[in-house]
């Protein structure tokens, strides 16, 4: 007789645990307000990434098209993947002294692992992380970027 | 009381007499077969597409997602787009597979589900064949699908497929019994196996209400066993995606895969339709005993609406099962059937027979 | 058995039904290949094959300076990236005898525990899905997303945040950090009982998990199974208790131990650890001292010649770093002891004699991360 009672007890226990699970899913079914996913391309206008989001490496330029990069090459040295190449020129300045200025700051986005060492080690804070994350392109060469803009120059207060 | 429910016999009868006047006896039979065939094919395809969409929406809301929302309004055309994709896909032929059986299997599965739909009473007087052993017929043809699944698993020349097919065989053969016994419970109450007769017997209340607790037990057993029989929900061992990748249809691609997919959803509709017909009164509106005024108001809702409401209610429950429970193991699956469902339905049927003998049901 | 395996696999003379689960299989969570020998539904034995995602991280480290190594350790056990980072940082700091500020220790501990919760959440999702409960996947990820948002706000990346650096942190935590972590804990304390209703209590789940894949304490020690998997067998191996690092000596918490050694015990250890992690975070989050986020380090880090060793408790077990330095700015040799490698190879012992479905449940309960096995 005990085994019969246990048999039916097992059935009721089983059904009650199943019902507990169904209550959870049922609760979410009747409350569609709890949807957490986003409709991505539609919400582009309101989508704001965190300030520190590591989307890509950028070189901030001010209104006079001036940046802070002296071309010292520390970022290139610290990069674990070789995704940065700093190409410099030696040109005479107005005093007649030959100084180093950057020609191209080449950044291979396709190789970057976003470890942040270049931004952290830059002595003159010339690099920063940008928030852009839509990097998909059809041509791999488009992922190689030149960070300093055309005709830009070094800021006065930054010593090279 | 004169019922106000529209009888589709008027419509079908007028079509029948018109055809008679055009073609004569033999021609009428052929023309009607063609017409009914076309009607069912269209219904079948549309229903399949809609059920896939519905399942995706239901599971999405349960899982706090939007679900399909890109193609068409509310994503309604998503499954149409999927169908077009499946139609255009390459049919990959498997090395050293049994070509004939491999190609035959999807058709067996889909024909089995197609045959079962013929006996479903959609509305008053709207039924392709009203057999006097309707319940029996539906059970017989719906169990044919397992042959297709076994053939698919065997001919694919894939180890995953074979394991999936063998599992499916063991599962369907055993759960068939519980489905049969739980349907038999209501057959005992109604005293007929004719589906239209079972519906008519529920004019003063559905069997799930009239049949006391045994009818509710039978309904629950029917829900569990039929979920197992259509390889869904917690019983999807045959395709157990985390174990066997896709089970018996691992090697199928393109439209042949779509056939299996479609058959699964149509089978779901069939068990829901049979469950609705037998337990929830089919197309019969919600009637309470002798409350004539209330019953009369209920009659204004068309019978087809009632039928689909009930069927989709059961479909929703089956989906709810699937998206809540973990999958059973094969030995637990058989334990559940042979140690729990089967004895319970046997006890249940004895109790029901006793109730019917004593005339205690309403 | 071993002779039989040799006959089957190496000579190929057997009629056994051998299935290759993986490298591409839904439940191997990556590119793991399990060669499974079946008798009907029953598993006779299985042989794990590793190396499909081997990237030679240890060799790459030999050419990298110490700060550069950090971002490679992220990519081993990507779900406990922060703990891996911390292990290397602690090892280098010990070698250079640098005392990091208290603030760094506190923050590292909080992040460890957040990362552990995130990892266990993902494990819960995947384990439920292995057993066929598909909805768990979305509930787990939904709550994990909140932790990842906190990470994103502070470190800029969600999964592979190279936030540690030898001597401290890359930068300070975000001003919102404390508030958001507290919000998350209040939220998650409400959601975790829901996990129990949905899966833990479920009778089907209990049938699937209880008594499946029994691992004795001796076996756990013999195979070196650590972390929650080992603690489910009663093997007391929590390094946070036994060899405290960072701020773990300042907090009160229990080491979760279950003695059953089955899949359900391993499951329960992880579920209880999530509660315990929240306790640890709550003890620390309001008392973060304010003494700078990095110690003073030389721009180029050179370890004195010698051998250095440091182990930490990741979400999956004991992660150890062994550095041999010859005084240069790159290590002469570096060896990582990854927990998953040891946890994987006990699988043959656990799964033999069970059903295929048990094998899936066992591999889910060991919580394998394949890149960590192959490195």
- B361 pLDDT band, cuts 50/70/90, is low
Q: What are the residue boundaries of the structural domains of chain B, listed by start?
A: 8-88, 97-358
3-state SS, residue C18? strand
Question: Are C65 and C25 in the same domain?
Answer: no
With pLDDT > 70 as the criterion, what percentage of chain B qualifies? 94
Q: What pLDDT does C8 receive?
A: 57
Question: Are C32 and C71 in the same domain?
Answer: no
Question: Are C222 and C300 in the same domain?
Answer: yes
Q: Which chains touch B (3 or more CB pairs under 8 A)?
A: A, C
Which residue in chain A has the smallest CA separation from B224? A15
pLDDT, mean over chain A: 83
Mean pLDDT, range C104-120, rounded to an integer: 89
- For residue C289, give its domain range: 60-374
pLDDT digits (tens, 9 = 90+) for C279-302: 888 888 888 888 888 878 777 888
Which residue in chain C has the smallest CA separation from B332? C207
Query: Domain with C344 in it: what CATH number?
Result: 1.10.645.10
User: Is C55 domain-assigned?
Assistant: no
- C11 pLDDT band, cuts 50/70/90, is low
Q: Could you say which residues of chain A have pLDDT below 50? A: none
Question: Are C21 and C103 in the same domain?
Answer: no
| DSSP assigned state of C100 | -
- C356 pLDDT band, cuts 50/70/90, is confident
| DSSP assigned state of B328 | P
- B215 pLDDT band, cuts 50/70/90, is confident
Question: Are C94 and C210 in the same domain?
Answer: yes
Question: Are C273 and C307 in the same domain?
Answer: yes
How many residues would you count in chain A? 160
Residues belonging to chain C with any Cβ–Cβ distance to chain A shorter than 8 Å: 64-65, 67-68, 70-72, 135, 142, 145, 152-157, 160, 162, 165, 170-171, 174, 194, 197-199, 201-204, 206, 299
Q: What pLDDT does C67 receive?
A: 86
Question: Are C226 and C263 in the same domain?
Answer: yes
Residues in CB range of C72: below 8 A, 6 or more apart: A80, C57, C60, C61, C64
Question: Are C36 and C73 in the same domain?
Answer: no
Q: What pLDDT does C243 receive?
A: 85
| CA C346/CA C355 separation, integer angstroms | 17
- C364 pLDDT band, cuts 50/70/90, is confident
Q: What pLDDT does B187 receive?
A: 85
pLDDT digits (tens, 9 = 90+) for C310-354: 888 888 888 889 999 888 888 898 888 888 888 888 888 888 888
Which residue in chain C has the smallest CA separation from A80? C68
Question: Are C124 and C30 in the same domain?
Answer: no
- Which residues of chain B have a CB within 8 Å of the CB of C356? 163, 243-244
User: Is C54 domain-assigned?
Assistant: no
- Which residues of chain A have a CB within 8 Å of the CB of C157? 53-54, 114
Q: What pLDDT does B1 receive?
A: 41
Q: What pLDDT does A159 receive?
A: 63
Q: What pLDDT does C135 receive?
A: 86
Of B65, B340, B344, the CB nearest to A37: B65
Question: Are C66 and C19 in the same domain?
Answer: no
Report how many domains make up chain C.
2
Mean pLDDT, range C178-195, rounded to an integer: 88
pLDDT, mean over chain B: 82
CA distances from A54 to A103, A115, A120, B78, C257 (A): 25, 9, 13, 35, 39
Identify from A12, A14, A16, A24 which residue to disrupt to test chain C contact, counting C C-beta atoms within 10 A and taking the largest count: A24
- Which residues of chain B have a CB within 8 Å of the CB of C202? 325-326
Mean pLDDT, range B292-308, rounded to an integer: 75
- Which residues of chain A have a CB within 8 Å of the CB of C170? 116, 120
Question: Are C45 and C64 in the same domain?
Answer: no
Q: What pLDDT does A143 receive?
A: 86
- Which residues of chain B have a CB within 8 Å of the CB of A21? 324-325
Question: Are C265 and C344 in the same domain?
Answer: yes
Q: What pLDDT does B258 receive?
A: 85
Q: In Å, how far is B39's CA from the nearest CA of chain C?
A: 36
Residue, of C10 and A136, whose pLDDT is higher: A136
ipTM tops 0.90: no
Q: Which chains touch A (3 or more CB pairs under 8 A)?
A: B, C
Partner-chain contact A23 C197, CB within 8 Å? yes
Kindly tell me if the per-residue pLDDT of B2 is higher than 50. Answer: no
**pTM for the structure as a whole:** 0.86
Residue, of C242 and C8, whose pLDDT is higher: C242
- Which residues of chain C have a CB within 8 Å of the CB of B329? 207-208, 355, 357-358
Of B58, B324, B340, the CB nearest to A11: B340
Residues in CB range of C264: below 8 A, 6 or more apart: C206, C209, C210, C211, C212
Q: In Å, how far is C341's CA from the nearest CA of chain A?
A: 25
Instruction: Mark B144-177 as b/e (b = at least 16 C-beta within 10 Å).
Output: ebbbbbbbbbbbbebbbbbbbbbbbbbbbebbbb
């Amino acid at each position: 007789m005990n085994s019969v009672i246990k048999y039916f007890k097992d059935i009721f226990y089983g059904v009650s645990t199943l019902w507990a699970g169904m209550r959870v899913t049922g609760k979410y079914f009747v409350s569609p307000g709890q949807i957490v996913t986003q409709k991505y391309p539609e919400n582009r206008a309101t989508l704001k990434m965190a300030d520190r989001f590591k989307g890509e490496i950028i070189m901030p330029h001010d209104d006079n098209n001036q940046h802070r990069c002296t071309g010292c090459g520390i970022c290139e040295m610290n990069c674990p993947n070789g995704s940065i190449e700093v190409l410099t020129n030696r040109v005479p300045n107005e005093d007649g002294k030959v100084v180093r200025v950057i020609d191209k700051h080449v950044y291979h986005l396709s190789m970057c692992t976003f470890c942040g060492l270049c931004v952290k080690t830059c002595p003159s804070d010339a690099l920063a992380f940008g928030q852009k994350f839509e990097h998909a392109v059809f041509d791999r060469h488009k992922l190689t970027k030149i960070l300093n803009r055309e005709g830009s120059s070094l800021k006065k207060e930054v010593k090279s | 009381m004169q019922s106000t429910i529209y009888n589709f016999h008027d419509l079908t009868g007028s079509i029948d007499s018109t055809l008679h006047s055009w073609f004569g006896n033999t021609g009428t039979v052929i023309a009607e077969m063609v017409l009914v065939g076309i009607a069912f094919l269209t219904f079948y395809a549309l229903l399949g597409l809609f059920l896939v969409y519905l399942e995706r929406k239901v599971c999405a809301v349960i899982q706090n997602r939007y679900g399909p929302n890109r193609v068409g309004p509310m994503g309604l055309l998503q499954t149409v787009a999927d169908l077009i994709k499946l139609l255009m896909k390459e049919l990959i032929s498997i090395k050293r597979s049994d070509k004939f059986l491999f190609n035959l299997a999807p058709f067996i599965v889909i024909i089995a589900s197609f045959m079962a739909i013929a006996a479903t009473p959609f509305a008053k007087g709207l039924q392709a064949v009203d057999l006097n052993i309707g319940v029996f017929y539906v059970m017989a043809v719906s169990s044919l699908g397992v042959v297709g699944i076994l053939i698919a698993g065997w001919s694919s020349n894939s180890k995953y497929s074979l394991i999936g097919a063998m599992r499916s065989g063991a599962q369907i053969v055993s759960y068939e019994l519980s489905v049969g016994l739980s349907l038999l419970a209501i057959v005992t109450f109604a005293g007929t196996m004719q589906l239209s007769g079972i519906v008519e017997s529920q004019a003063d209340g559905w069997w799930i209400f009239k049949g006391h607790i045994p009818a509710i037990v039978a309904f629950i057993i029917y829900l569990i066993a039929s979920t197992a029989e259509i390889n869904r929900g917690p019983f999807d061992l045959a395709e157990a995606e985390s174990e066997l990748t896709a089970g018996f249809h691992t090697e199928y691609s393109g439209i042949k895969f779509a056939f299996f997919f479609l058959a699964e959803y149509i089978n779901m509709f069939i068990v829901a339709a049979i469950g609705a017909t037998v337990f929830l009164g089919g197309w019969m509106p919600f009637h309470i005993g002798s409350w004539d005024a209330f019953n009369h108001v209920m009659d204004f809702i068309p019978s087809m609406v009632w039928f689909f409401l009930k069927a989709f209610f059961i479909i929703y429950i089956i989906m709810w099962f699937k998206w809540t429970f973990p999958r059973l193991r094969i030995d637990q699956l058989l334990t559940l059937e042979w140690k729990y469902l089967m004895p319970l339905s046997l006890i249940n049927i004895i109790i029901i027979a006793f109730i019917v003998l004593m005339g205690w049901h309403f | 058995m071993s002779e039989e395996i040799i006959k089957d696999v190496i000579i190929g003379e057997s009629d056994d039904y051998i299935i290759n689960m993986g490298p591409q299989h839904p439940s191997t969570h990556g590119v793991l290949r399990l060669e499974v020998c079946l008798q009907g539904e029953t598993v006779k034995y299985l042989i794990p094959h590793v190396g499909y995602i081997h990237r030679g991280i240890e060799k790459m480290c030999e050419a990298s300076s110490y700060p550069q190594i950090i971002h490679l350790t992220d990519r081993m056990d990507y779900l406990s990236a922060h703990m891996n980072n911390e292990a290397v940082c602690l090892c280098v700091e010990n070698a250079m005898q640098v005392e990091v500020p208290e603030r760094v220790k506190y923050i590292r501990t909080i992040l460890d525990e957040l990362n552990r919760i995130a990892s266990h959440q993902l494990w819960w999702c995947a384990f439920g899905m292995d057993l066929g409960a598909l909805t768990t996947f979305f509930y787990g990820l939904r709550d994990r997303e909140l932790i990842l948002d906190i990470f994103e706000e502070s470190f800029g990346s969600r999964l592979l945040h190279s936030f540690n650096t030898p001597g401290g942190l890359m930068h300070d935590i975000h001003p919102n950090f404390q508030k958001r972590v507290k919000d998350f804990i209040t939220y998650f304390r409400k959601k975790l009982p829901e996990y129990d209703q949905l899966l833990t209590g479920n009778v089907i789940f209990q049938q699937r998990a209880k008594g499946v894949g029994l691992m004795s304490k001796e076996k756990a020690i013999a195979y070196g199974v650590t972390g929650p998997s080992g603690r489910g067998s009663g093997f007391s191996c929590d390094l946070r208790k036994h060899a405290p690092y960072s701020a773990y000596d300042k907090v009160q918490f229990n080491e979760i131990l279950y003695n059953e050694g089955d899949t359900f015990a391993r499951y329960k250890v992880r579920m209880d650890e999530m509660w315990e992690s929240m306790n640890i975070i709550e003890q620390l989050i309001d008392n973060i001292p304010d003494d700078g986020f990095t110690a003073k380090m030389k721009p180029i880090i050179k370890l004195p010649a010698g051998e250095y060793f440091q182990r930490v408790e990741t979400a999956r077990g004991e992660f150890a770093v062994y550095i041999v330095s010859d005084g240069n700015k790159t290590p002469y040799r570096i060896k990582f002891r990854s927990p998953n490698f040891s946890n994987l190879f006990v699988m043959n012992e656990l799964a033999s004699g069970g059903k295929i479905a048990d094998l899936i449940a066992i591999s889910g309960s060991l919580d394998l991360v394949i890149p960590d096995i192959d490195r």
